[in-house]
Amino acid sequence: MLYYYFQSKGGLYVAVLETMYAEFARHEVSLDLAGLQPAAALGFARK
């Protein structure tokens, strides 16, 4: 069944990474970092 949806294990790996990066980007966009110093913004993004 894996090969039906992803054609290979590599395809599954890419799909998982794409999902993870999309979720990361969704959270990143929601951060309000305006007005913060760069070091503070980096610390805030880590949480």
Per the CB < 8 A criterion, the answer to whether 27 and 44 are in contact is no
| Res 45: pLDDT | 60
pTM of the predicted model as reported, rounded to 2 decimal places:
0.61
Rounded to an integer, what distance in angstroms lies between the CA atom of residue 11 and that of residue 3? 9
Q: Which two tokens stand for residue 19?
A: 């999902």
Rounded to an integer, what distance in angstroms lies between the CA atom of residue 42 and that of residue 8? 37
Rounded to an integer, what distance in angstroms lies between the CA atom of residue 42 and that of residue 46? 6
pLDDT in tens, 12-43: 999 999 999 999 999 888 888 888 888 888 88
Domain ranges of the chain: 2-46
